[in-house]
Structure 1
């Protein structure tokens, strides 16, 4: 807030495809899909038209109790048909953080209904980002998002992102009879684009099954073609108990998220009387949001962006890899999904006092938007990006690094 108060704001005036224009009319490549969500690109008239038609038919109405609407039903059925979850059910929400809270509460409530109310402990991973609602803030794997808010939700812990053995050790330390669920992103996104080791998710799924711990996948960033499939986790051949989704489900055109829940977890609530899940939000199942999402999914399928994304992934990887030779760069992480990270060296960050915010500013001045985190610059462009635009992104980042290096 203080930074904005002391300087001019960057006003985004309009957008089309992979491009943004500011209030002065200058053009920028959206190298981050805003916040990881503009999967089909900006300015798609078919999504706007679908939302408009729905608003003119049924603007909004609650889906509490036995109330529903056709767009919400059709979207839920479509998502369930593609989810790698056994006998899936869908809970719709308004976004990713809300969906994480829904999944966490459902996990705890599930064990309570089964007569094991002591199973409340939630485990997550270092670097994991799960939104900034109550449960999300409490299980996030980055300390900077957790501090300064007083006591958070208790019975949570964090394990190394790359070790199934560490997860098992933590379950045993806490006691399997007290652990409710384990949360993991297919690829850690906002935490720095960290890829899972070979075989990691197979081992994790086995550990969770061994101790009866619910396996919850956070696919908010990784879903809807960003990793070449519907929910990202399909690349690793496992079937979680729940999948949290948002962002790419509507490509950000409308605020929407949700949780895909396995039939096993749903059964005590769905099949038995007297076990209500007392949870919900005002705009969950909003018909205009669902209609926009359906139009977005139509684009993903019609243009086969699931296949296209695998080609984009390879080209983005090949374009970013040479940056590893830059004297300011310690590591490039890419090659799984349309995303990547360019991490600065310890010497640059500490001895030379360089910040990722400086590199971000230099890139933006040259017409490319990146995402700075404390140690790296992140990229996650729309899946519709061209090879030429990828090369422009990479060369601009290289030029920004050169400019910062020269200044220091």
Structure 2
């Protein structure tokens, strides 16, 4: 008897326990509006906007036209040294004007993990340039996710993303802080010594950790600690940037003043691979003096012209169609629906902040099994750490679709038997 083929396709899936997904993988071949389609013709509502990014929906013809025209003109040219390209310059200026940071400079690259690396390296390099050579430690929150490059892996507050590489952190001198209790954060800062701390990095809303909004006063407390102790404050807005909370940046919503903001995902709604950081004057100015060293950042596709053109068009669409207002309206609908399902005894808690929702299930029910059942009925949601079902659809979602996906969670609970979910190695 021939053993079943366990090798599957040549593509090694990201963030997947391969034996569990082989034979069950869904190949997406087309997207249209708020829906995607599989290779066997199934139509699925994209209840997570891909990986939190498909904010304007899928398959927009004008985005394809922008890409084609830019490629005919100039596919790209690098932005190293004295060279620039016009689309990268335009995008950086557009981001500067939208950001909550006055007189910012913008570094562009290829995605969220890139952005984390360049931000945290910059934080350390800044203090070295200032002669504060002991300021090297980076603090990050328990349950945080900051991508999977070496620095992002090292500051991960989800242990399963840091384990197995031979040391507690690939990049040394990182430490975790409490995710909600600001007094415990103060104690941790005192233990380490503020003169050793280069930066605190925090997601305004923790995404992969389970859709966790900030505790009242927490982000403001981090801001005060950073201000009091000469610590750079970095807001990881890879998920929340460009409208997910109803403002261009969640930093505006929560009234914080980061020294650096990391960005990706929503800047292009996934139509191109773009990320970067927004840098406040205090941090960029020392690198702009005549005797300054080079800050050695940059990848081949930093400021990619076609990617920048697509990001610019995406931002135009968000503004033209009033999608920030729409997000604020959708947040209300989602909050109402989650308040309704919170009464279900099978649900442990619900959380919403902006157009991001999480449904935490009781231990007798598995978020992974329920989201699998939802796919069978035409709805995509994702299981997150803490047995949470993630809901974060495109900004173009209708009220009825919001109600539909929450109803699909109820149906999934009805359709699945109780089972404790394993801890999932989920992606942002």
Give the TM-score, by structure 1 length: 0.95
Deviations 1:264-303 (A, max 9, x none): 1001111242411112111000000000000000001001
2:322 to 296, 304, 308: 304
Deviations 1:242-270 (A, max 9, x none): 00000000000000000000111001111
Please state how far the C-alpha of 1:363 moved relative to its aligned partner.
0.7
1:286 to 290, 299, 304: 304
2:361 to 336, 344, 364: 344
Alpha-carbon separation, structure 2, partners of 1:226 and 1:274: 37
**Which has the larger helix fraction?**
1
- Paired position in structure 2 for 1:252: 270
Please state how far the C-alpha of 1:227 moved relative to its aligned partner.
0.5
Please state how far the C-alpha of 1:4 moved relative to its aligned partner.
6.1
What is the 5 A alignment of 1:120-269? Answer: 120-151=136-167, 152-269=170-287
Q: Is contact 1:38–1:382 with CA below 8 Å preserved after alignment?
A: yes
Q: Compute the RMSD of aligned alpha carbons.
A: 1.4
Alpha-carbon separation, structure 2, partners of 1:39 and 1:60: 25
- Paired position in structure 2 for 1:361: 372
Q: Is contact 2:366–2:419 with CA below 8 Å preserved after alignment?
A: no
Please state how far the C-alpha of 1:5 moved relative to its aligned partner.
6.6
Give the TM-score, by structure 2 length: 0.91
Deviations 1:335-364 (A, max 9, x none): x21111111123x1xxxxx43211111111
Alpha-carbon separation, structure 2, partners of 1:231 and 1:20: 27
Structure 2: which 5+ residue stretches go unaligned?
Answer: 1-16, 421-428
Alpha-carbon separation, structure 2, partners of 1:108 and 1:77: 25
- The DSSP-based 3-state class of the residue aligned with 2:222 is helix
Please identify, of 1-10 and 297-306, the stretch whose mean Cα deviation from structure 2 is larger: 1-10
Which stretches of structure 1, 4 residues or more, deviate above 4 A after TM superposition?
Answer: none
Alpha-carbon separation, structure 2, partners of 1:189 and 1:373: 9
Alpha-carbon separation, structure 2, partners of 1:370 and 1:306: 22
Relative to structure 1, the CA distance from residue 5 to residue 140 in structure 2 (aligned partners, 3 Å threshold; closer, same or farther) is closer
Q: Is contact 1:86–1:239 with CA below 8 Å preserved after alignment?
A: no
Please state how far the C-alpha of 1:369 moved relative to its aligned partner.
0.5
Please state how far the C-alpha of 1:328 moved relative to its aligned partner.
2.1
- Paired position in structure 2 for 1:351: none
Q: Is contact 2:76–2:85 with CA below 8 Å preserved after alignment?
A: no
Please state how far the C-alpha of 1:189 moved relative to its aligned partner.
0.9
